[in-house]
Structure 1
Amino acid sequence: MAPVATQRRVGIDLVPLNWQQSLLYDKIEILEGVTDIDLVVSLKLREEALLGKCLGRRICSECGGNYNVACIDIKGEDGKPGMYMAALLPPPHCASKLITQSDDAEEVVKERLRI
């Protein structure tokens, strides 16, 4: 019988959605026992791109597929680079069944970005 691997690799998204969550990161049990971190990625994007993509999130109410109807095309200015992020559009059978999550309202997203 072959030995069973006991190590596992996981990816963890630790983006706080509110101030209280950001204060709890030192108490996250999922990191308990972690002794080796291979990679940490910190992304920085222009706020207008983040806001646009967050407000463009959609879910198919039938199949649960995730899509994004926002096409971001920002020209570079004031030393900031331009950026282009295409929309991730649904297939035709999902297009009429798209819904928005209640926490994707503009004020909620702006508060998340502020944190």
Structure 2
Amino acid sequence: MVGSMTPLPLLSKLRVYVSHANFRVRAKAAISISNCVSKMGLEGMKEFGLVELVQMSADLLKDRLPEAREAARSVVISIYEVFTESEEQKQEAWQSFCQSNLSPIHAQSMFKIIPSL
């Protein structure tokens, strides 16, 4: 997003709250992260850490609160959309990315979120 303020400083501050002991704090952080990521392009995601975003989302997908899980799904969809934007074989590119950066169980949970997989 040219001309708009980057959400990277906010994301960096929120990162620590994703693993907070209080599930409500985790959920609020997940929702805020989801809002930030939805406004980012691929370059912004890469600058923050694309792999870190995916790993954070994978952890949040199994959170206790549905708000955190839904926010994680939203982050995954946002990442998928910008990551595969210029890919000819979207599903294969996404599968390959997830399998190389996540545990098999987490990669599987990522595939389930994207309906076309």
TM-score by length of 2: 0.27
Greater fraction of residues in strand? 1
**Larger Rg over CA atoms:** 1
Greater fraction of residues in helix? 2
